[in-house]
Amino acid sequence: MKIDESLPLEYSTEENRLKILGFWIFLGAEIALFSTLFAVYFTLHNGHGNGPSAEELFKITPVMIETVLLLTSSFTIGLGIHAMRLGLKKAMMTFFVITLVLGLGFLGTEIYEFVEYIHEGATIQTSAFTSSLMTLLGTHGAHVTFGLFWGTAILIQVAKRGLTPETANKSFIFSLYWHFLDVVWIFIFSFVYLKGMM
Amino acid sequence: MESHEQQFLILNEPMIVAAMISIVVGALSLVIGVTYFKKWGYLWREWITTVDHKKIGVMYILVALVMLFRGGVDALLMRGQTAMPENGLLDAQHYNEIFTTHGVIMILFMAMPFIIGLMNVVTPLQIGARDVAFPRLNSVSFWLFAVGAGLFNISFIIGGSPDAGWSAYFPLASLEFSPTVGNNYYAISLQIAGLGTLMTGINFLVTILKMRAPGMTLMKMPMFTWSILITNVIIVFAFPVLTVALALMTMDRQFGTKFFAMQDGGMDMLWANLFWVWGHPEVYIVILPAFGIYSEIISTFARKNLYGYKSMVVSMVAISLLSFVVWAHHFYTMGHGVMVNSVFSITTMLIAVPTGVKIFNWLLTLHKGKISFTTPMLYSLAFIPIFTIGGVTGVMLAMASADYQYHNTMFLVAHFHYVLIPGTVFAVIAGFHFWFPKVFGFRLNEKLGKLAFWFITISFNVAFFPLFILGLNGMTRRMYTYSESTGYGPLNMLSFVGAVGLGIGFIILVYNLYWSIRYSPRDETGDPWDARSLEWATHGPVPFYNFARIPQVNELDAFWHAKKHNKQLWSGPIEKIHMPSNSGMPFLMSGAFFAAGFCLVFSWWIPTIIFTILIFVFMALRSFEQDHGYYVSVEEVERIERELGGDK
């Protein structure tokens, strides 16, 4: 394994550079995936049949909590990567743990929100509107859930093996993934919730 | 067909029972054969766990050939059923299932994997690389595709095949109108295979962008590699749409959501849009690599540079962009208004321009060339005029107002077979003959190859040209029978004769494979066709590390220049080579995918959840695994190079 010392740890080997480019391309595919889900939602959001409409369903409080939690987590993982580049393993791990805890808080709030919806008689089967809404939110939520497990696995590896080119590479790629989920959430917040509540 | 709804094993169709028995007998004899010859270890070490791009490519092509046989039998049954008026070979339900599986298998489990197979074998060699960027992921891709194909193929004996057409339009494909598990199979097996394809797309983009030999700039890449690069961009952006569409289909059918429902705000037309937003780019995913294959073969056997290299690249990029903005031309008659139809009509006709540019480039490459009529070249030459017929009828269909006349008729069926068979099928057969000696070290027999070519080409026209006329006379597609008074009988009979001829052609092709394995003289040079690009610079069969030393590229067709000017492609001593290690995990994980998919088809929730967790366990194991591959020592490389007949 040839290590190029002039580059940050996560870019330092050929294999690492390939993986980072590959993940960027994967994120391109993810953008196509979420774009399709948004297109489905925009096509069907007025089709609420006998069920509730967006105005009736959406509440601002849980959505704001979710937004603040996720946006903050994106900031903390940025700090984590910064710490990693400075070679501070402990600081990096602390920021990653904070990120995952915030992500867990986001997920908890989202689950609470879904339970509320179901109490109001809006299940995934109620109408095309609720089907497309819950599929879009659910896909994002599933990504966050997967991220929590993935992030934990990486933390364990960093704790065991230290900051090597391999673990640094994984941590960096995970941070790309986490930022991406934040970007998707910003679109959900603006074009699903705010637009729906107007 | 009430009886189809409750059955787990389909036992009321003699034909299906016969197929079931033959599958069981075939599988048993395979197992017994492998055990008798003690080949399980070999199979596991050399093939199932392999991460070598050449072997993965060969496995893709092997599965594609089997699927060609399966899809071909479907086709023969369809043509047999419609050969005579009021024929009773198949009933309506069985006919519906067969045209559905024919379409799905030929596009997704034959054309795509054949192309992905060739791309696996050839692309890393053409750019002077030792493997793809992510060899382990490549193995995952293959096995996901393989289990997807397997899951789709067992549908006709366990539970019933999908019966709503390969495009599975709603509401026909909804639970209400298609109550068997057939369309669950459709959604889930394509989902699994599609995941594999998406990973292939990412893998090859990174490979081509990052792993080219030193000096090979983008504009010095062989045309086939260019076509693969563009195809993979399309894959990465089109397949997620299919992923979503299939997921929504599964949810509508199995979780009671309302996406494509007829009530509660659902919209059945949304399915058609999603399907074709993926489906039209898919057409170009199977045709652009074909263009790449023809470019390589035509310039090799005309002994000339490819004419208009830059315009070839530009026109492929143009086609790839246009491929995303033409999808609505598949359903002009669905009633989305004049404006929408006009826009899509124009974008569709625009595609004819870059395609026309390519046709002229090939013709001008042939112009004043020293043409040798080998088997791959014959397919390439036949492609040009036949594909042009397909293209011209395509422009006819592109005109929205005229399309109201052709829509859903046999004219359309004739059109897309005239595009896909000379386009994709001829190309993969030509590529198969062309690159075969590179992988196995001997050529397929030319005499048998040419015999198969003439059978296939003539029979193809006999089989499909009558369909143009039938379509114009008003025969609609997917009609399982018709009355004598329609007058469709004679032309349908002619088409059946052609279909049988095509079948014979493919049998000759397979026989050629058998004959050549036994008797064909072995090639020692690694360059039997006197060809142009880097894959021919190394030995044939290619050693597992591809190149002992990585070539240095200074111009397009570097190998050709090196031969003509007696230059060396490489310099310096042989160094130790880093290679990825084999792994059984992709195979085992795909097995978990298969099990989870199969349980999901039948809505067995608990086992589905258990097997899904197993998939994640495999992913976690991979995350914690530490595997940096291994090194091949200089002595070992030198020994292998000596055995293969000299340093390359």
- B470-528 pLDDT tens trace: 999 999 999 999 999 999 999 999 999 999 999 999 999 999 999 999 999 887 788 99
User: What tens digit of pLDDT does each residue of B213-226 get?
Assistant: 999 999 999 999 99
d(CA B271, CA B276) in angstroms, rounded, equals 8
At residue B172, the 3 state secondary structure works out as coil
Query: Closest Cα to residue B648, out of B577, B543, B511, B576?
Result: B543
> Does residue B346 lie within any of the structural domains?
yes
Of B568 and A63, the structure prediction assigns the larger pLDDT to A63
- Identify the closest residue of chain A to B274 by CA–CA distance: A36
Which pLDDT score, from 0 to 100, does residue B2 have?
41
Mean pLDDT, residues B618-625 taken together: 94
d(CA B479, CA B95) in angstroms, rounded, equals 9
Q: Which of A33, A148, A170 is the mutation pick for testing B, counting most B CBs within 10 A?
A: A33
| Residue B621 touches chain A, beta carbons under 8 Å | no
Please indicate whether, in this complex, the C-beta atoms of B133 and A22 are within 8 angstroms of each other: yes
Contact B291, B241 (CB under 8 A): no
Please indicate whether, in this complex, the C-beta atoms of A135 and B270 are within 8 angstroms of each other: no
Burial category of B305 from C-beta neighbours within 10 Å (exposed 0-12, middle 13-18, buried 19 and up): middle
Please indicate whether, in this complex, the C-beta atoms of A125 and B133 are within 8 angstroms of each other: no
> Does residue B45 lie within any of the structural domains?
yes
d(CA B475, CA B483) in angstroms, rounded, equals 11
Please indicate whether, in this complex, the C-beta atoms of A22 and B616 are within 8 angstroms of each other: no
Domain span including residue B200: 3-583+627-643
Contact B356, B395 (CB under 8 A): no
CA-based nearest distance A42→chain B, Å:
11
Please indicate whether, in this complex, the C-beta atoms of B620 and A127 are within 8 angstroms of each other: no
User: What tens digit of pLDDT does each residue of B452-465 get?
Assistant: 999 999 999 999 99
**Residues sharing a CB contact under 8 Å with residue A112, sequence separation 6 or more, in sequence order:** A62
How far are the Cα atoms of B206, B254, B504, B642 from residue B543, in angstroms, in the given order? Answer: 23, 49, 35, 12
User: What tens digit of pLDDT does each residue of B303-362 get?
Assistant: 999 999 999 999 999 999 999 999 999 999 988 889 999 999 999 999 999 999 999 999
Query: At B215, which CATH number?
Result: 1.20.210.10
**Residues sharing a CB contact under 8 Å with residue A31, sequence separation 6 or more, in sequence order:** none
Please indicate whether, in this complex, the C-beta atoms of A131 and B616 are within 8 angstroms of each other: no
For residue B108 the two structure tokens come to 């997704």
Number of domain units in chain B: 1
* Helix (H) / strand (E) containing B631: strand B630-632
Which pLDDT score, from 0 to 100, does residue B1 have?
39
> Does residue B605 lie within any of the structural domains?
no
Show residues of chain A in contact with B174, CB under 8 Å: none
A46 pLDDT above the threshold of 70: yes
- pLDDT band (50, 70, 90) for residue B648: low
Which pLDDT score, from 0 to 100, does residue A127 have?
94
Show residues of chain A in contact with B240, CB under 8 Å: 29-30, 32-33, 36
> Does residue B542 lie within any of the structural domains?
yes
Q: Which of A2, A13, A23, A40 is the mutation pick for testing B, counting most B CBs within 10 A?
A: A40
B573 pLDDT above the threshold of 70: yes
| Residue B261 touches chain A, beta carbons under 8 Å | yes
B647 pLDDT above the threshold of 70: no
Which pLDDT score, from 0 to 100, does residue B25 have?
85
Mean pLDDT, residues A107-124 taken together: 94
> Does residue B616 lie within any of the structural domains?
no
* Helix (H) / strand (E) containing B578: strand B577-579
The interface residues of chain A toward chain B in range 59-88, judged by CB-CB distance below 8 A, are none
The phi and psi torsions of B577 (rounded to 5 degrees) equal -115, 130
- pLDDT band (50, 70, 90) for residue A7: confident
Which pLDDT score, from 0 to 100, does residue B8 have?
79
d(CA B136, CA B142) in angstroms, rounded, equals 10
Contact B470, B410 (CB under 8 A): yes
| Residue A169 touches chain B, beta carbons under 8 Å | no
User: What tens digit of pLDDT does each residue of B527-565 get?
Assistant: 999 999 999 999 888 999 999 999 999 888 989 999 999
* Reported ipTM: 0.95
d(CA A186, CA A30) in angstroms, rounded, equals 15
What is the CA A7 to chain-centroid distance, rounded? Answer: 27
Average pLDDT along chain A: 94
Q: Which of B232, B264, B579 is the mutation pick for testing A, counting most A CBs within 10 A?
A: B264
How far are the Cα atoms of A152, B72, B374, B640 from residue B576, in angstroms, in the given order? Answer: 37, 47, 39, 13
B570 pLDDT above the threshold of 70: yes
> Whose structure tokens read 């990653």?
A96
Which pLDDT score, from 0 to 100, does residue A1 have?
58
User: What tens digit of pLDDT does each residue of B359-386 get?
Assistant: 999 999 999 999 999 999 999 999 999 9
User: What tens digit of pLDDT does each residue of B241-273 get?
Assistant: 999 999 999 999 999 999 999 889 999 999 999
Show residues of chain A in contact with B201, CB under 8 Å: 25, 29
CA-based nearest distance B38→chain A, Å:
38
* 3-state percent breakdown (helix, strand, coil) of chain B, nearest 5: 70, 0, 30
d(CA B412, CA B471) in angstroms, rounded, equals 7
SS (H, E, C) B38-106: CCHHHHHHHHHCCCCHHHHHHHHHHHHHHHHHHHHHHHHHHHHHHCCCCCCCCCHHHHHHHHHHHHHHH
b/e string for B502-525 if b means 16 or more Cβ within 10 A? bbebbebbeebbeebeeebeebee
Contact B230, A103 (CB under 8 A): no
CA-based nearest distance B307→chain A, Å:
32
The interface residues of chain B toward chain A in range 183-212, judged by CB-CB distance below 8 A, are 198, 201-203, 205-206, 209-211
Query: Which percentage of chain A shows pLDDT scores above 90?
Result: 86
Which pLDDT score, from 0 to 100, does residue B634 have?
92
Number of domain units in chain A: 1
Please indicate whether, in this complex, the C-beta atoms of A25 and B205 are within 8 angstroms of each other: yes
Average pLDDT along chain B: 93
| Residue A154 touches chain B, beta carbons under 8 Å | yes
For residue B126 the two structure tokens come to 């053409």
Query: Which percentage of chain B shows pLDDT scores above 70?
Result: 98
Of B447 and B27, the structure prediction assigns the larger pLDDT to B447
Query: At A154, which CATH number?
Result: 1.20.120.80
Torsion from C-alpha of B143, B145, B151, B156, nearest 10 degrees: -140
> Does residue B411 lie within any of the structural domains?
yes
User: What tens digit of pLDDT does each residue of B402-421 get?
Assistant: 999 999 999 999 999 999 99
User: What tens digit of pLDDT does each residue of B298-314 get?
Assistant: 999 999 999 999 999 99
Which pLDDT score, from 0 to 100, does residue B6 have?
54
- Identify the closest residue of chain B to A131 by CA–CA distance: B257
Which pLDDT score, from 0 to 100, does residue B356 have?
94
- pLDDT band (50, 70, 90) for residue A197: confident
For residue A169 the two structure tokens come to 């590479």
For residue B632 the two structure tokens come to 């091949």
Which pLDDT score, from 0 to 100, does residue B394 have?
93
A2 pLDDT above the threshold of 80: no
| Residue A37 touches chain B, beta carbons under 8 Å | yes
- Identify the closest residue of chain A to B210 by CA–CA distance: A18
